[in-house]
Structure 1
Amino acid sequence: MSVSTLAARSRRVACLSSVALTLLGMLMLDGCSLVPQYQQPELPLAQQFNGPTDSSAAQGGQWWREFHSAELDSLIARGQASNYTLKAAVSRIDEARASAQVAGAAQYPALNLGGNYQRQNNYGSTEKRSVFAEATYEVDFWGKQRAAADSADALANATVFDAQTLRMSLSASIADRYFEVLSLEDRLRLAQSIADDARQVLDLVEVQASQGAVSNLEVAQQRNAMQTFEAAMPPLRQQRDLALYQLAVLVGAQPEGFHLQGNGLTTLQVPQPSTGLPIGLLRQRPDIQAAEARLKSADFDVGVARAAFLPNLSLDLLGGIDTLAGGQIWSAIGTLSQPVFAGGQLKGQLHFDQAHVQELASSYRESIIEALQDIETQLSAARELDKSYVLNQSAVDSAREAARLAQVRYRLGSTDFQTLLIVERTQYQAEDTLLQVRLQHLQAAVGLFRALGGDFSPDTLASNSSAQVAHP
């Protein structure tokens, strides 16, 4: 057979394929939908949060910049780019979108091209060539395929919000560990400073004891005080190393050689996040958005289960050229099927999907209640820790003044050693407590940012780009 003949026949097959596709396009009409009308579950929300709060729009975006730490900014940017758990979440977005693409493919015709070549030589020579195109399509009268595709799309959206929730938690965890490392460094410096002061007092007491002014009891007591301050440092170093290594993992770095340049917590500012109104949580928290996306998916599943009870029409079109028959070959087959008896499978699936909707509606309401509880807890913590920090700062000022006066009076011989010893320990405890309250104060601000939705913005929440989930 000549090349020109094959080309001509190929054009005729293409023409037949075009006709078949046109026919299928006419049949692809929007059918009725059996998906329940989605209604967002109602949940009574208070007009405002408890206590004095700022009702202006809640702050989002790169909230960590409110602490005014370039090193913290760098660590969070590094974590969002390199954290392996977040990378895995971004990959799950791609997986969900691919699954949604597979589910959506059933809405469109399937077209296959093929050909046969056969040659026989028994008592005569027979040669057969055929080229054909086959198209199959399931007419979606009841919206079953569309509902299945929409369900998969909603689940894909849920994975986007899941990744945003993880991104929000990751940023908060990095900030918490960073502040913890700096706090432990401050506490180590304090313990070393107090131990050095205690050693100087010990030297003084030893001189006095050599002159008979005090007994060896005072020397032993002061040596015990100094050793107690020194003994506090190894556990603090261990806690600092643990927090530092955890921070390294969060930012996707190896613990070996990982270190910080921070100069302590005193250089940081404690921000006051705007809380907005409770109703704003529905648009801000990605975990609530994820719960609602899964609820919408379940609604579409109910439509799929309902459509399974109704008749189903499938079309199978075949067109081609057969050289042995000497002309065109074609066939059109329509198959109409109606479920009659399936042992309760269809009814059971429908009841399952309807119960699943009720389950996810309850989960959605629960996610809102938990978010409100989270915000109220963090608001209370921020409010009370702010008061606690002021009071503890006053206690430290008093302890420092008392220690100064006690040392002066002891050197002049106008106070006893027991008073000096008590004042030393009181000063250390007051300053160490203040550092711990400072850490809690900063972490409460981080917790409030996280509870409000963290690194959210309209563009971030509306986008379905996994690249934007992974990078700020």
Structure 2
Amino acid sequence: MSRGLINVPAIALLATLAGCSLVPSYHTPELPVADHWDGQSVVAPAAGGQWWKGFASPELDQLIDQGLNHNYDLKAAISRIDEAQGSAQVAGAAQFPQVSLGGLKQRQNNYGVTPKASVFGEATYELDFWGKNRARANSADALAKATVFDAQTLRMTLSADIANAYFTVLSLDERLNLARSIANDAQQVLDLVQYQASQGAVSNLEVEQQRNALQTFQAAVPTLQQQRDQALYQLAVLTGVPPLGFSIHGPALHTLQTPQPSAGLPIGLLRQRPDVQAAEARVKSANFDVGVARAAFLPSLSIDVLAGVDTLAGGGIWSAIGTLAQPVFTGGQLKGQLTFDEAHVQELIASYRQSMLVALQDVETQLSATRELDKNYSLSQAAVTSAREAARLAQVRYRLGSTDFQTLLIVERTQYQAEDSLLQVRLAHLQAAVGLFRALGGDFSPQAIAASTSSQAIDR
């Protein structure tokens, strides 16, 4: 690396040329996108904002609000925004002169005392002739923006997870009540069969068959209770509170509204999904890194100015030094760094396009789920109505002796399976609506992240 002193006119000339940039021109990576979703030709603008209010559950509103304010994973994500912004500030500092103040006081004892003191200031500045420092700062800024989008992605996922966990707990509550209710009905039938067996009307075979049916219904209760507890504890952690003592008092699933979010246009999704925006921000950052790597091959120029006052002599002191450095041999380090940065851009472009495909797939999947589960729910409701009527008629006919016990067992199990299936379909129906909101970007409004720094969003 060669170095040398250059005169002030030469420095001034190079300063006027400063501002060149070696950053490649950036163009948003493209991907062919259809003009409508599969099965939809006319669509309204996509939904946004606080989508969870569409379910008309004040308790759900409260839980999501609590989670968005107290979930520790989200707090950590917001702290990472602070970290990235701090790193960006450090990277951007190289664009400005570095100024320091100093002083010197000296006493010499040689046939007397001769005090000496001086005060001086020093400024060092590297002329950003090739835009290297500016590109490095822009790269860090892009990464800081990516962390904001990462936090929004986590927020999007968190609100959906809270809603899904809440609906799961409500569903398991109802499935528990159903299992207990069916078990009670089975117990009454068992009492009837035992009485008939004592009168010689039926054999012990029928008694044991009904006892087995009762025990099967009873055995479902502990499993459902364990699943319910697990979902409840998960919901507590998502909202940022300890599981111990946590409880909810939600309504029945069928009383909740099922919103029908509009999907908007596929091209609009790419501006709504924070994970897609985060992927593009990282592409931009890597593109700036290529400019930094290119500039590293070229000369760098720095100026060091020193000015001060000698208090003893009563005069001023100053100096100005310009240093020009040109890399000569680095053993392939600079070439290797450029190769890495250029390949990194291509890697992130591929990742960005993949995130676009995944986002489009996500929406199409959730649109299909909401459409087909809507049909399934209507059919399941009809199946439950039929199963209940069949069970009622079978019990009446069995008491009158006009039908056999096997028929009673079959309709008994069929009713339980139909009602339990309906509750599971209802849960899937609600969760499909949640999934579609999440796939569309959640509450993708600009105000989604209430604060960009932890000092505003987190209780220290």
Q: Structure 2 length as normaliser, TM-score? A: 0.94
Change in Cα spacing, 1:53 to 1:209, as seen in structure 2 (3 Å) is farther
Q: AA paired with 2:420? A: D
Per-residue CA deviations over 1:269-327 (Å, capped at 9, x if unaligned) read 11111001110111100000000000000111111111111111111111111134441
Task: Give the unaligned 5+ runs of structure 2.
Answer: 1-10
Change (3 A) 1:335 1:299: same
For 1:394 and 1:327, locate their aligned partners in 2 and report how far apart those are by CA, in whole Å: 101
Query: 5 Å matches for 1:41-120?
Result: 41-52=29-40, 55-120=43-108
- Equivalent residue for 2:5? none
> Would you say the 8 A contact 2:18–2:127 is kept in 1?
no
Question: How much has 1:55 moved relative to structure 2?
Answer: 1.5
How far does residue 465 in structure 1 lie from its aligned partner after superposition?
5.6
Give 1:248 shift. Answer: 0.6
Q: Distance in 1 between matches of 2:451 and 2:326?
A: 41
8 Å CA contact 1:301–1:353 kept in 2: the answer is yes
Structure 1 unmatched runs, 5+: 1-22
Q: Give the Å deviation of 1:104.
A: 0.4
Q: What is the SS of the residue equivalent to 2:318?
A: strand
Residue 272 of structure 1 aligns to which amino acid in structure 2? Answer: Q
1:137-286 equivalences in 2 (<5 Å): 137-286=125-274
**How many percent of aligned residue pairs carry the same amino acid?**
73
SS of the residue corresponding to residue 271 of structure 1 reads: coil
In 2 relative to 1, CA 384–469 (structure 1 residues): closer, same or farther, beyond 3 Å? farther
Residue number in structure 2 paired with 1:383: 371
Alignment of 1:435-454 (within 5 A): 435-454=423-442
- Code of the residue aligned with 1:187 in structure 2: it is R
Mapped to 2, the partners of 1:368 and 1:346 lie a distance apart of 33
- Structure 1 residues 174 and 376: CA distance shift in structure 2, 3 A: same
Within 5 A, what are the aligned runs for 1:453-468?
A: 453-460=441-448, 464=452
Amino acid of the structure 2 residue aligned with 1:73: D
CA distance in 1, matches of 2:450, 2:293: 29
Tell me which amino acid in the other structure corresponds to 2:311.
Answer: T
Q: 2:360 aligns with which of 351, 356, 372?
A: 372
User: 1:397 Cα deviation (Å)?
Assistant: 0.7
Does the CA contact (< 8 Å) of 1:164 and 1:469 recur in 2? Answer: no
Letter in 1 for 2:349: A
Letter matched to residue 133 of structure 1: G
TM superposition shift of 1:463: 8.1
Tell me the distance in 2 between the aligned counterparts of 1:179 and 1:120: 84
Residue in 2 aligned with 1:287?
275
RMSD value, Cα: 2.1
Aligned residue in 1 for 2:287: 299
Local SS of the residue matching 2:250? coil
- Shift of residue 266, structure 1, vs aligned partner: 1.3
Q: Quick one: structure 1 residues 53 and 87, their matched pair in 2 at CA, closer, same or farther if it must change by over 3 Å?
A: farther
Q: SS in structure 2 opposite 1:254?
A: coil
In 2 relative to 1, CA 466–379 (structure 1 residues): closer, same or farther, beyond 3 Å?
Answer: farther
For residues 374-419 of structure 1, give each alpha carbon's deviation from its aligned partner in whole angstroms, at most 9, with x where no partner exists.
1111111111111111111111111001001111111111111111
The alignment of Structure 1 onto Structure 2 pairs a total of residues equal to: 449
2:320 alignment partner in structure 1: 332
